[in-house]
Structure 1
Amino acid sequence: MPKMIFVNLPVTDLAHSITFYTAIGGSKNPQFSDDTAACMVLSESIHVMLLTHAKYSSFTARPIADARATSASLLALTFDSRDEVNATLDRAVAAGGLADPNPPQDLGFMFSRSVQDPDGNVWEIFWMDPAALASA
């Protein structure tokens, strides 16, 4: 079985967060979702667990950080083209995200933008030229 990643995020409004993560390409897995959590599948190996604060707190005694005030991580997700990066960002903003909390970057072989989810977590959405990857 290939390695998988489950990113666990505390959320203040589960329904709003589901809308946002659907907009960036996720689909909800009902097998691991209920009124306290939603498993959003971004790919076969990438899942985002959206957890209400009460549910998240059942996994850790540490306080939940305010992601709008601090940065504990930057999450990055690839897309197939520059146009898909821009279209995804537009959908994410329409679903309650904040566009470009970090400046966009265009390095020629790589293009990235960022979006902040409704709880302040920042996702870098980017495209890299496959030819540049092959020559690296």
Structure 2
Amino acid sequence: MTLLGQPAPDFTLPSTGGEPVTLSSYRGHRTVVLVFYPMDFSPVCSMQLPEYSGRQDDFGDAGAVVLGINRDSVYTHRAWAAEYGIELPLLADMTLTVARDYGVAIDERGITQRAVFIIDKEGVVRYEAIEAKTGDYTVRPEQVLERVRAL
């Protein structure tokens, strides 16, 4: 299943920012980078999300917002973000509903695949990268930033 060229499935999820985040609220003014990752506090995720967080200003300058999503609770997200200095909004998809909508749920393990989707200002998926294994981390923030700038 590919979502390329399709309208991005909309959602509203609880966020570490305190307010729920609705994807369609960015339509018309921001590109959105969705970063699905398996678990807070896991080794690869604890490299990946801080790297995205460290490039947050660059993404902002390119007119994009980065949102991290997985099945952990907002409380776990907040503890992990505090420990690792992650300043991105982390969204709690505790039922994996959004992950299923994007084709990245691993239901038998209760986690999501590691994946990145870029959604343009019109709400259309313009890029998707789904890692072959949850431990893979080949799609780096620099590559994603280049794709955002090219939109």
Q: Relative contact order: is structure 1 or structure 2 higher (C-alpha 8 Å, sep ≥ 6)?
A: 2
Higher Cα Rg, which structure: 1
Structure showing the higher helix proportion among its residues: 2
